[in-house]
Structures are given as structure tokens and as C-alpha cells.
Structure 1
Amino acid sequence: MTAPVIEISDASKTYDAGLPALDRVSLTVQAGEALAVLGPSGSGKSTLLNMITGLDKPTSGQVTVNGIRVDRLSEAGSAKYRRERIGMVFQFFNLLDDLTVIDNVLLPAQLAGMPTARARARAAELLSYLRIDRHSRAYPGRLSGGERQRVAVARALMNRPPLLLADEPTGALDTASGEEVRRLLAELNQDGQTIVLVTHDITLAEACATRTIELTDGRIVRDTAAVAG
């Protein structure tokens, strides 16, 4: 059996000697899974996500992603790891409004030093795959919320990351755009992309997650596989 994409072992995080934001969490995510992380505000969802991205380190325990001990990385090592191994999709898109769609998508490749011709070919492939190629020369402000989130997904997938993280990806969208993004994430997972999404949107979890965990007070209180069919 291949190694898991994410392996978190007995990880805790405490800030300023208060109650733990995460309390001895152990979690394994296999390649091809789509994991939804649910829980109320303050349950530890953001802390878990930040530990997976290397933005935060556990007070104790281990975090391994794609064979890399993320909890041991230096600041520079963490930045390189995020560029090469993680794709991030955010609630408010985080697109640069003064760049065109294709230039937004190209940014991760430029930061990673990908040759220009290969980067442009990859960007064109993604824009076509995500059905937004007709908007390649448009600016984000001219697009709908759903279209902007597709651009954000294309940018996140630019460097072929083993793991796509989505933080409340439907939180800023209207109903129709939210449904569009739910379908998109489900399609990406069906095509083999490993996804971890943090959300309050139960409909999103039901639509595209193969597995759901629920956090309460920094602990996993429920871990449920989706029912096939």
C-alpha cells in the first residue's frame, strides 16, 4: 500500500498556555480521498489546516505530508513546500485584480521557476479543463464568483500539487455559484485529486467528500466515510 498523503500523529497545539487548539489529533488521509473537516468556530479547524500547510507547528506530535516532516521545516523550507506540494483555495479567492486570469494562474509556476513555454501550456490546459479558457484575458473583477473560484482552483493546481486544500471555498458565493464549485471539487476528486476542505457548508461536504471528520474542542469526535451510491 502506498504511503498516505497526510499522516498526523498525536499532534497538539497550545497557544499562550491556554486550552489546546488541537488536542492529541491523529489523522491519516490516503491519496484520492476528499476529506471534509467540519466543526463550530473555535473547534480547531483552522489550526489543523495551518499545521498541514506548515504555517503553524504543533506543540507536540508529528505532521507528515507527501513524505515530508512538515513540523521540522524551516521557514524557507515551509515556503518551498507550500509552493511545490500544496494547492490552496480560499473563501475570498485571493486573486490579483490587476492581473488577467491567465497571469493569475501563471504566478505559482513563475515563483517555482517553471520554464515559460511549459508554464503557459499548463495554464492553457487548466483553463480549458476548468471551462474558463474563454476568460483567459479578462480581469477577475469582470467574472462571477463561481468563475473567480475556478480561476483560483486553476492557480492552485498549476504546479500539480499532491494535495489541494480548500478553506471555506463556497463561503463567499451565492447559491448558484456555490453549486458550481461543489460540482467542480467533486469532479477534481473523481479525477484523482486528493482534497482536504474546511467548511461550514454541510451540502458541500455531502456533495464532494468521500470522508468527513468533525472537530470539537480540538479533538476529532466523528470520522465517517461517505455512503456510496
Structure 2
Amino acid sequence: MSTPVIELRDVSRKYDDGPPALQEASFAVRAGEAVAILGPSGSGKSTLLNLIAGLDRPDAGTVTVDGVRVDQLGEAGSALYRRAKIGMVFQFFNLLDDLTVADNVVLPAQLAGMARGTAHRRAEELLENLGIARHAGAYPGRLSGGERQRVAVARALMNRPALLLADEPTGALDTAAGEEVCRLLTELNADGQTIVVVTHDLGLARACTTRTIELVDGRIASDGATLTAAVR
């Protein structure tokens, strides 16, 4: 079998004097999978996302992403790791309103040192593929929520990441726009992109992914293709 893109082994994280946010979590995600990390508020989803993204470190256990021991990286190494390996899509888009759509998409490539011409050709390709090329010169504030999320996905894919992390990607969208973004994630996965969606929405998990990992009180409660109980 292929080497996992993500591998967590006995990962735990505790903050201050409260209960552990994550307790002895172990799982692997292989290339081309679309996985939902599912659970209610306080279940440990955000902690898990931050550990995979190198934004936090575990107190115990190991986190490996695309061959990189993320738990051993320092601040500078974590930034380089995210730039090279991770694309992130957030609930509230996190676009820069004073930059055009094209400039928002190009930004990760500029930070990575990609040649200007190469970066702009890549951005044009992504915007065309995602159906928003006509908005390249517009500013994000003039776009609908669904269009802004497509821009965010294009930006996340700019450096051809091994892993796309989506944190509640439809949480700020109406139903129609949310379904549009869900179809987009499904299409990207069908093209081979490895995706992890972090959500409390069982419907989103079922529609966009083929495997769910359910967290309850910081522990993995289930790991499989089907969930039978709604998450509240």
C-alpha cells in the first residue's frame, strides 16, 4: 500500500488545566482520500486541524504529513511546511480585500518564490478551471460568498499542495452556495486531490467525502465510511 499522506500516532494535546483537547488520536489518510473530521463544538476538531497544519504541537505522539514530521518543526520550519505541503480553506474565506482576485490567488506562489510568469499562468489556469476567470480583476468584496470561496480554493491550490484542508468551508454560505462548494470539493477529489474537511455538519461530510472520522471529547469515536447518528 502507498505511504499515508497523513499519519497520526497516539497524539494528545492539553491546554491549561482543562480536560485534554485531544487524547491518543491515531489514524492515517492515504493519497486521494476525501475524509471528514466530524464532531460538535469542543470535540477536538480545531485542535486536530491545527496539529496537521503545523499551527500547534502535540504534547505526545507524532504527526507526519507527506513525509514531514510536523510535530518536530520550529516556527520557521512550520511556515515553510505549510507553504509547500498544505492548502487551507477557511469558513470566512480570509481573502485580502485590497487585492484583486488574481493577486489573492498568486500570493502563495510569490511567497514561495515562484517565477512571476509561471505564477500568473498557474493562477489563470486555476481561475478558469474553477469557473471564475471573469472575476480575475475584481475585488473580493464584489463577489458572492460562493465565488469568494472558489477564490479561496484557487489560492489554496496555487502551490499544488499534497493536502487540502477545509475548515467548515460552507459554514458562512447559504444553502445553494454551500452545495456549489461541496460539488467543487468532490470534483477536486475525483481529480486526485487529497482532502480533509473539518466540520460539525453531517450532511456536508456525507456529500463531500467518502470517509468520516468522528471525534467526541477529544477521542476518536468512529472511523469509517458511514455514520448513523446525526451530530449536534
TM-score range, shorter chain: over 0.9
Q: From the superposition, tell whether residues 125 and 226 of structure 1 become closer, same or farther in structure 2 (CA, over 3 Å).
A: farther
Letter in structure 2 aligned against 1:107: L
Correspondence 1:215-226 to 2 at 5 A: 215-225=215-225
Tell me the amino acid that sits aligned with residue 123 of structure 2: A
CA contact (8 A) 2:10 2:60 kept: yes
Structure 2: any 5+ residue segments left out of the alignment?
Answer: 228-232
Match of 2:230?
A: none
- Secondary structure of the 1:78 match is helix
Secondary structure at the aligned position of 2:87 is classed as strand
Alignment partner, residue 146 of structure 1:
146
Aligned length, in residue pairs: 227
C-alpha distance in 2, partners of 1:202/1:130?
Answer: 25
Q: Please say if 1:118 is aligned against 2:92.
A: no
Does residue 1:195 correspond to 2:192, yes or no?
A: no
Match in the other structure for 1:168? 168
TM-score after normalising by structure 2: 0.96
For each residue in 1:74-115, what CA deviation from the matched residue of structure 2 results, as whole angstroms up to 9, or x when unmatched? Answer: 110000000110000000000011111000000000000000
> How far apart are residue 116 of structure 1 and its match?
0.5
> Does structure 1 retain, via aligned residues, the 8 Å contact 2:41–2:200?
no
Alpha-carbon distance between aligned partners in 2 of 1:185 and 1:139, rounded to the nearest angstrom: 23
SS at match of 2:21: strand
For 1:20 and 1:215, the matched residues in 2 are separated by 13
Structure 1 residue ranges (4+ consecutive) displaced by more than 3 angstroms after TM superposition: none
User: Which runs of 5 or more structure 1 residues have no equivalent in the other structure?
Assistant: none
CA shift, 1:18, in A, is: 2.8
Does structure 1 residue 130 correspond to structure 2 residue 166?
no
Write the letter of the residue equivalent to 2:84.
Answer: E
Partner Cα distance (2:61, 2:117) in 1: 42
Q: Could you tell me how far apart the structure 1 residues matched to 2:151 and 2:160 are? A: 15
Contact 2:164 2:193 in 1 (8 A): yes
Give yes or no for the alignment of 1:56 onto 2:56: yes
- Judge conservation of contact 1:9–1:27 (CA < 8 Å) in 2: yes
Identity between Structure 1 and Structure 2 (%): 73
Moved more, 10-19 or 157-166: 10-19
TM-score by length of 1: 0.97
Q: What is the alpha-carbon distance in structure 1 between the residues aligned to residue 204 and residue 39 of structure 2?
A: 14
Map 1:11-26 → 2, pairs under 5 A: 11-26=11-26
Paired residues of 1:170 and 1:201 also in contact (CA < 8 A): no
Alpha-carbon displacement from aligned partner over 1:155-199 (angstroms, at most 9, x marks no partner): 000000000000000000011100100100000000100000111
CA distance in structure 1 between the partners assigned to 2:214 and 2:170 by the alignment = 18
User: In 1, Cα distance between the equivalents of 2:184 and 2:9?
Assistant: 31
Which residue of structure 2 lines up, in the alignment, with residue 86 of structure 1? Answer: 86
Query: Offset of 1:210 from its aligned partner?
Result: 1.2
Distance, in Å, in 2 between the alignment partners of 1:207 and 1:25 is 25
SS at match of 1:134: helix
Which residue identity is paired with 2:143? L
- Give the whole-Å Cα distance in 2 for the aligned partners of 1:104 and 1:201: 28
Paired with 1:173 and 1:75, the residues of 2 have a C-alpha distance of 33
1:226 Cα deviation from its structure 2 partner: 5.1
